[in-house]
Structure 1
Amino acid sequence: MKDDQIYLLHIEECISDINTFVKGNRELFLNDKLVRNATLRSLQTLAESTSRLSDEFKEKHPDIPWRKIRGFRNVIVHDYLGLDYEAVWLVITVEIPRLRKILK
């Protein structure tokens, strides 16, 4: 569980960074390449951290879509030219707050 706590703290840090970068501003995210790239990197790192959580932890939280998070990371890393930034914005504004609430 100790390692899980490290990754959970890291996930929370990534979420805080994402919120700092986008400032709740869709237009900023969509139009500012620096903000978009920083946000995507934090989303990638967040997803990678979730994949390092123990199986025990994941089994205790079946309400979190672990496979979808991992799949999203793969899209960011491997399909970066085909990213739908509107869909990413939905992840930022809907899924990330949901994840944060569950993990707290």
Structure 2
Amino acid sequence: MINYIDSILKYTDNVDYTGFKNNSMMIEACVFNLSQIGELVNKLDKEYIMKYPEIPWFKMKGLRNRIVHD
């Protein structure tokens, strides 16, 4: 999961909103990584999720579902 987050941060380093929205390859790369993060959240044990309630696990999973199914 950390690797996917690091990739998104690397891709978007020093990129403003306009630069991001005009770069379809960057958008697709970030969307892919976000979907992978959401997929990994699906595989976490409920105990682990409950141990870190400050992390928006269900939003991450929900974003993955929107990316993949919408």
* Letter of the structure 2 residue corresponding to residue 44 of structure 1: S
Q: What is the alpha-carbon root mean square deviation over aligned residues?
A: 1.2
**Counterparts of 1:66 and 1:19 in 2: how far apart (Å)?**
19
1:16 matches 2:6: yes
Normalising by the residue count of structure 1, what TM-score does the alignment of the two structures yield?
0.61
Q: Which runs of 5+ in 2 are unaligned?
A: none
* Matches for 1:38-77 after TM superposition, within 5 Å: 38-77=29-68
Q: CA deviation at 1:20?
A: 1.2
| Equivalences, count | 69
Q: CA deviation at 1:29?
A: 1.7
Measured at CA, do residues 67 and 52 of structure 1 come closer, stay the same or move farther in structure 2, by a change above 3 Å?
same
Question: In the alignment, which residue of structure 1 is the partner of 2:20?
Answer: 29
Measured at CA, do residues 24 and 15 of structure 1 come closer, stay the same or move farther in structure 2, by a change above 3 Å?
farther
* Matches for 1:65-104 after TM superposition, within 5 Å: 65-79=56-70
Q: Which runs of 5+ in 1 are unaligned?
A: 1-10, 80-104
Per-residue deviation, residues 12-35 of structure 1 (Å, max 9, x unmatched): 100110011122412222110101
